[in-house]
């Protein structure tokens, strides 16, 4: 009896709540007399309003079937008010009728719940079908699509680890290394430029674990950094720079520079290495570059006595999925283990290339990453018996293209070059152009050499035919001594670099360097000069006339007066310390006119040589087109 009475009250409350919904009343509100159950008006509202309430209606219809916990106090009170009075004499009859009504209402509630659920499913299916049948709204032809600016992030310059001696323990990915030599010196030098108002952006050297190694300049408050200023308070250009402290840290570092006025700041850094003893004696320099989604590295050597280690550094906050494609003398090299490398944020992976492409005199690697971006460099070293045979970093060069320009090439006097390459152990110690075809069609290229007085004929004519997805070499030792710019023009896209050699005697240490294809100079570039060696900057405009402005940055942060260099006649112009000052720590280059190119060649002692490219220009404001849909 008690349970039947509770069920009756719950059923009465359900009916009352349905009546409130039909009348537009709030839950718990008192019903008008003409709407209360038990009066002459129908006790149960029509199913339509319940079904129209969607999910809520379905849940309300199912509630009586779930039973269970006690009703809330206000619900019980309302049920008492609305329950019809029953005389003691007719209590059994009333209870029986209420039970019958409850059973009918329970069945009707379940039916309404099912109908409500089916209705929701039908509406969802109709919406999906509508999106499939009718195409999404797009902007009308000819209408303007707004561009939404994206906030500029920190400018990054990622530096590879210092030169390390490969011990031979382990092959493939992540080999073991040992210290290079007793007197090896390694350093990272970095600089950043202010905006026209003289504001120095915050800049720091960060380790892979994001701890600070060195601070170049403290970060400005966000509100101050976001301001866009065109000049100083007096209306003049107050451009200056800040040179950071030299870091001796031997592992990878990334320089972060704060954006100013919504534009990335101009930052540059260089890793240099110098040693006079040990297997890794020589000079090496690597430009610290922004991590990239695609990198081309051409010229690695994996013959006996030579070691090429590809280093992948991920300085970003996302995991990088990396694919490495190798090309050798016979075409594409199958290396399935290099098709899906995961490089975690802050992680470095080292790959011994001889484990995948042995006995290659010229190897090209294309590194492509998705997700996070990576900095890719190849540490190249050679040992000729017991005599150091040279070392350098192969950095990322210009993207494969039909035309490639390689400035900053130093050629030895032909007689000395011939003597250095005479011994069998020194057979590959010759200056040469290394090319890689990037398609199945291969490529036929014509090579030009631009010297101090203009174009110089290349012995043999300068034509090179490259097989499908293969590499090829062309010797340059027959050219007169001097600084050159090498121009490659092909019928298909190629990647390119030049191997340079420096030494005094064949049986003494020899050093090697690789100059990669360069990108065209733009409105402003910052090139930090390495702490080791002497730099010579080589500039050229291969096709027409161009003007390049050069300013030096001193250790005090002051910029010198601009020096203008006119480039014409397919000549290569070399600038040394006497041109930009012995105290210069960095150079600022700006170009106008025809496409022009620049790079530096670094020399040290009797045989040390290294190549250094110009850093890319900073990114301006980036934007995406946004189409608003109905």
Indicate the burial class of 470 (C-beta count within 10 angstroms; 0-12, 13-18, 19 or more): buried
pLDDT at residue 270, rounded to an integer: 96
pLDDT at residue 144, rounded to an integer: 62
- Give yes or no for a contact between 379 and 318, defined as CB atoms under 8 angstroms apart: no
Of 156-160, 180-184, 271-275, 571-575, the one with minimum mean pLDDT is: 180-184
Distance CA 536, CA 285 (A): 14
Look at the block and give the residue holding tokens 């996302």.
318
pLDDT at residue 17, rounded to an integer: 64
Is 616's pLDDT higher than 70? yes
Distance CA 611, CA 599 (A): 8
Contacts of 233 (CB under 8 A, 6+ apart): 197
In the structure, what pLDDT confidence band is assigned to residue 266 with cuts at 50, 70 and 90? very high
Question: By C-alpha distance, which of 60, 72, 69 is closest to 16?
Answer: 60
Domain residue ranges in the chain = 2-133, 150-618
Distance CA 165, CA 67 (A): 77
Distance CA 459, CA 104 (A): 104
pLDDT at residue 165, rounded to an integer: 82
Indicate the burial class of 268 (C-beta count within 10 angstroms; 0-12, 13-18, 19 or more): buried
Tokens of 152: 């500029």
pLDDT in tens, 25-81: 555 555 555 444 444 444 444 444 333 334 333 333 333 333 334 333 343 434 344
pLDDT at residue 580, rounded to an integer: 87
| φ, ψ (nearest 5 deg) of residue 475 | -70, 145
Of 234-238, 320-324, 333-337, the one with minimum mean pLDDT is: 234-238
CB atoms within 10 A of CB 598: 28
Average pLDDT over residues 253-276: 93
CB atoms within 10 A of CB 139: 14
| φ, ψ (nearest 5 deg) of residue 448 | -125, 145
CB atoms within 10 A of CB 592: 12
Question: 89 to each of 102, 390, 521, 598, how far by Cα in Å?
Answer: 22, 114, 106, 110
Of 143-157, 370-384, 469-483, the one with minimum mean pLDDT is: 143-157
In the structure, what pLDDT confidence band is assigned to residue 449 with cuts at 50, 70 and 90? very high
pLDDT in tens, 474-503: 999 889 999 999 999 999 999 999 999 999
In the structure, what pLDDT confidence band is assigned to residue 10 with cuts at 50, 70 and 90? low
Percent of the chain at pLDDT exceeding 90: 59
Strands 306-313 and 294-300: unpaired
Question: E strand or H helix at 6, and its extent?
Answer: helix 2-23
- Give yes or no for a contact between 313 and 348, defined as CB atoms under 8 angstroms apart: yes
Look at the block and give the residue holding tokens 């890719």.
376
pLDDT in tens, 104-135: 444 444 444 444 444 444 444 444 444 444 45
Average pLDDT across the chain, whole number: 81
Tokens of 553: 């940055």
CA 52 to chain centre: 52
CA 268 to chain centre: 17
β partners of residue 609: 603
- Give yes or no for a contact between 609 and 417, defined as CB atoms under 8 angstroms apart: no
In the structure, what pLDDT confidence band is assigned to residue 440 with cuts at 50, 70 and 90? very high
pLDDT at residue 423, rounded to an integer: 84
- Give yes or no for a contact between 208 and 156, defined as CB atoms under 8 angstroms apart: no
DSSP state letters, 47-102: HHHHHHTTHHHHHHHHHHHH--SPPPHHHHHHHHHHSPP--GGGHHHHHHHHHHHH
Question: By C-alpha distance, which of 282, 355, 281 is closest to 324?
Answer: 355
């Amino acid at each position: 009896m008690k349970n039947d009475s509770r069920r009756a009250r719950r059923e009465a409350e359900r009916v009352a709540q349905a009546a409130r919904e039909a009348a537009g009343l709030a839950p718990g509100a008192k019903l008008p007399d003409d709407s209360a159950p038990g009066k002459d008006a129908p006790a149960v509202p029509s199913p339509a309003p319940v079904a129209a309430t969607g999910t809520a209606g379905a849940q309300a219809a199912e509630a009586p079937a779930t039973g269970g916990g006690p009703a809330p106090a206000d619900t019980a009170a309302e049920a008492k008010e609305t329950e019809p009075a029953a005389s003691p004499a007719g209590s059994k009859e009333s209870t029986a009728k209420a039970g019958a009504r409850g059973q009918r209402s329970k069945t009707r509630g379940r039916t309404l719940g099912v109908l409500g659920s089916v209705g929701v499913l039908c509406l969802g299916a109709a919406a999906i079908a509508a999106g499939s049948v009718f195409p999404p709204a797009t902007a009308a032809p000819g209408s303007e699509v707004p561009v939404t600016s994206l906030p500029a992030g920190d400018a990054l310059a990622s530096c590879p680890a210092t030169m390390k001696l490969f011990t031979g323990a382990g092959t493939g990915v992540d080999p073991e290394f040992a210290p290079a030599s007793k007197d090896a010196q390694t350093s990272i030098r970095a600089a950043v430029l202010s905006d026209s108002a003289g504001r120095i952006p915050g800049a720091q050297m960060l380790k892979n674990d994001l701890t600070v190694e060195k601070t170049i300049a403290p970060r400005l408050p966000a509100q101050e950094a976001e301001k866009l200023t065109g000049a100083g308070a007096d209306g003049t250009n107050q451009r200056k720079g800040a040179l950071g402290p030299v870091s001796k840290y031997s592992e990878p570092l990334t320089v972060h520079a704060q954006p100013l006025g919504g534009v990335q700041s101009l930052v540059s850094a260089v890793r240099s290495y110098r040693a006079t003893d040990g297997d890794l004696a020589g000079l090496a320099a690597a430009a610290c570059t922004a991590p990239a989604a695609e990198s081309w590295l051409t010229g690695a050597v994996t013959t006996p006595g030579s070691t090429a280690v590809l280093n992948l550094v991920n300085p970003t906050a996302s995991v990088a999925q990396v694919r490495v494609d190798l090309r050798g003398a016979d075409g594409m090299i199958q290396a399935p283990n290099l098709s899906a490398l995961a490089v975690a944020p802050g992680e470095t992976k080292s790959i011994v290339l001889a484990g995948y492409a042995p006995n290659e005199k010229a190897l090209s690697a294309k590194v492509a990453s998705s997700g996070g971006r990576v900095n890719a460099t190849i540490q190249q070293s050679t040992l000729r018996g017991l005599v150091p045979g040279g070392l350098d970093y192969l950095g990322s060069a210009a993207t494969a293209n039909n035309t490639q320009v390689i400035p900053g090439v130093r050629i030895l006097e032909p007689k000395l070059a011939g003597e250095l390459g005479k011994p069998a152990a020194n057979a590959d110690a010759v200056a040469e152009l290394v090319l890689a075809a990037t398609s199945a069609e291969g490529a036929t290229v014509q090579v030009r050499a631009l010297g101090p007085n203009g174009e110089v004929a290349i012995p043999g004519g300068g034509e090179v035919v490259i097989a499908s997805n293969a590499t090829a070499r062309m010797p340059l030792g027959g050219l007169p001594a001097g600084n050159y710019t090498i121009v490659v023009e092909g019928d298909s896209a190629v990647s390119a670099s030049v191997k340079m050699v420096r030494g005094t005697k064949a049986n003494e240490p020899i050093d090697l360097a690789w100059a990669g294809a360069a990108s065209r100079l733009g409105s402003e570039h910052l090139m930090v000069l390495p702490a080791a060696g002497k730099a010579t900057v080589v500039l050229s405009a291969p096709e027409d006339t161009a003007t390049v402005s050069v300013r030096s940055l001193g250790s005090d942060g002051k910029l010198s007066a601009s020096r203008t260099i006119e480039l014409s006649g397919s000549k290569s112009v070399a600038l040394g310390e006497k041109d930009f000052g012995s105290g210069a720590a960095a150079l600022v280059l700006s170009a106008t006119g025809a496409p022009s190119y620049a790079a530096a060649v670094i020399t040290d002692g009797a045989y040390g040589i290294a190549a250094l490219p110009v850093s890319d220009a900073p990114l301006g404001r980036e934007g995406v087109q946004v189409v608003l849909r109905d």
